[in-house]
Every structure is written in C-alpha cells, then in structure tokens.
Amino acid sequence: MTKEFGVNLVIDVGNTTLSVGKVSKTKVLDAKSFNYMEFPNKLPKWIESGRFNPKKASICSVNPTINVKLKKIISNSFPECKIQIINNKSIPISNNYSNLDKLGVDRTVNVYSAGNLYGWPCLVIDLGTAVSFDLGGPKKSFDGGLIFPGRELAFRALQDGAAKLSRFPLKFPKNPKIIGKNTEDCVNYGISYGYGVMIRDMIKEYQELARSRWKKKLRVIITGGGYEFIKPFLRKVDKKYDKHLTLKGLALLQQNKLK
C-alpha cells in the first residue's frame, strides 16, 4: 500500500496513558491512546500499520522512563525520523511559572495550542488524572493556574479513606441530582455534581479575572476525557471542547521548531 507523505508523529505522555497522533501540519488525521502496560506491544503495530513515513516525531512527557522506550520504538520503525522531546523552554511563549522544572510540559503545550488556535487570553481546562486550569495571558504567556484531583482519583481516595463505605463502581449519571437516596447514589451524584459545579464556577472566576486585569474576553478551551459528563453544567458557558488540543499543540511546534 502507498505510504502517506507529509504526515508526522506526535505523542503526549500522561500520568497513566499516552496519546499518539498522526498529523499533517496542524490537522490530526488519526489518534490512539494506550496505557503504560500495553503500549510497548500495541504502539509499534499501530504506527507500522498507519501507511506513513514520518520525518518528525514530537513528544511531550511527564515520564522520562517512557521516553526511552518511545524513542526506541520510533527509531526501530522509522530510522530516519527526527525525534524531539519537548520541554518548557522550547515552547515559544513567555512563562511566568516560578519553577519550570516542576511544571508539566503538557500544561504549557496546551496553553500554547489554545492561544494560537483560539486566541489570547485563554483558559485551558484539562480533564484527566488531575483536573488542571491553566491561564494564558494576552501577550502570549503561561501565567499559572490550579490543579485538582481528578474524579476517579477522588473517588478512590474516598473509598480507601472511609471504613464503612462499601465497594462499588464510579458511575457518571447523565442527570445527577442533589439528593441521593442511597450511599452509592450519594457518592456518584456528589462527584458528578460537585465537579460540574466546581468547573463552572472556576470558569466564572477566571473570566472575572480576565475582565478586571486585562479588560479582555477569556477564551475557554476544555480538553481531556469525560467532557460529556460535565457538559450539562456548562450550557451557558461560552467554551470550546478540543479532544486533541495537546496533539495539535505538538503539531504546531513541529511547524515552528522542527523544520
């Protein structure tokens, strides 16, 4: 089969999974997620079956050990592919974080991606193992933000810390209520409703900050998994959902930095 040319590889390594994308310029043509256990076997098969011959591969990662394995897989499949591990200093925006060594590079990539694709100033909400709020200033800067435990992490902590709480799965009801009639519903409603309201109200706080500090409208971009469960709480919020925001940011960096 004929291979696609002008198609490159981008990889976002998170806390528990990694997302891999085939990109042409800034368009994500195909994407796949793998957990840490399965990717050494499944990733090579996926990239080799993709009928493309990437010249560039960009990786943003919170796990240096995974980087070593990824570089080996990519080099074995595409010996001529140029691999770059993205770090905070290689992203062409100013950064107001006090310690760049402690800043997850995916957060900076997300703000860079959101600002360039949707406009500055911007707020990125990433729904993952943690729920992060990251603010991009009007002069193309990373200004910091907030990090909350993710819903599943909070649920596990509650089950581990409450002796009388029975074991049951976390569910995300489409229409959570504020009055549960049994313990399972109380927990599931509480987490779903609590996170929905928290995210909605935090957006309002950041919008007010943007108005008072910069006299600017704040672009709100949400990424990550589970958006459908908080969407009902955000009906009146002007926002965008971009599932592949990080991968698009890596593709943008390829265009600007890896020519």
Quick one: pLDDT at residue 47? Answer: 83
- What range defines the domain where residue 47 resides? 8-85
Residue 151 CB neighbours (<10 A): 22
Is pTM beyond 0.85? Reply is yes
Cβ 57 vs Cβ 18: under 8 Å:
no
Region 118-143: what's the mean pLDDT? 97
Q: Is residue 155 part of a domain?
A: no
CA distance 221 to 173: 23
Looking at the structure, do residues 141 and 33 belong to the same domain, yes or no?
Answer: no
Quick one: pLDDT at residue 4? Answer: 54
Q: Is residue 130 part of a domain?
A: yes
Report the number of distinct structural domains present in the chain: 2
Quick one: pLDDT at residue 17? Answer: 92
Looking at the structure, do residues 125 and 232 belong to the same domain, yes or no?
Answer: yes
Which of 40, 69, 85 finishes a domain? 85
Q: Which of 106, 126, 143, 242 is catalytic?
A: 106
CATH code of residue 71: 3.30.420.40
Residue 229 Cα distances to 46, 206, 212, angstroms:
29, 21, 31
Which of 85, 108, 142 finishes a domain? 85
Q: Could you read off the pLDDT of 218-230 as tens digits, one per residue?
A: 999 999 988 988 9
Q: Is residue 50 part of a domain?
A: yes
Looking at the structure, do residues 42 and 127 belong to the same domain, yes or no?
Answer: no
Q: Is residue 127 part of a domain?
A: yes
Which of 28, 63, 85 finishes a domain? 85
Looking at the structure, do residues 128 and 228 belong to the same domain, yes or no?
Answer: yes
Looking at the structure, do residues 77 and 125 belong to the same domain, yes or no?
Answer: no
Task: Say if residue 2's pLDDT is above 60.
Answer: no
Looking at the structure, do residues 143 and 206 belong to the same domain, yes or no?
Answer: yes
Cα 142 from chain centroid (whole Å) = 15
Q: Is residue 73 part of a domain?
A: yes
Residue 100 sits at φ, ψ, to 5 deg, of -65, -30
Quick one: pLDDT at residue 1? Answer: 40
Report CA torsion sign: 214, 115, 223, 43. negative
Q: Is residue 54 part of a domain?
A: yes
Looking at the structure, do residues 130 and 236 belong to the same domain, yes or no?
Answer: yes
Q: Could you read off the pLDDT of 48-104 as tens digits, one per residue?
A: 887 788 999 999 999 999 999 999 999 999 999 999 999 999 999 999 999 999 999
Looking at the structure, do residues 78 and 129 belong to the same domain, yes or no?
Answer: no
Looking at the structure, do residues 125 and 72 belong to the same domain, yes or no?
Answer: no
Looking at the structure, do residues 63 and 129 belong to the same domain, yes or no?
Answer: no
Looking at the structure, do residues 129 and 74 belong to the same domain, yes or no?
Answer: no
Using only the alpha carbons of the chain, give its radius of gyration: 20
Residue with tokens 């704040």: 218
Q: Could you read off the pLDDT of 132-178 as tens digits, one per residue?
A: 999 999 999 999 999 999 999 999 899 889 877 878 888 877 778 88
Looking at the structure, do residues 231 and 136 belong to the same domain, yes or no?
Answer: yes
What band does 112 get if pLDDT is binned at 50, 70 and 90?
very high
Task: Say if residue 3's pLDDT is above 60.
Answer: no
Q: Is residue 66 part of a domain?
A: yes
Q: Is 106 a catalytic residue?
A: yes
Task: Say if residue 259's pLDDT is above 50.
Answer: no
Q: Is residue 172 part of a domain?
A: no
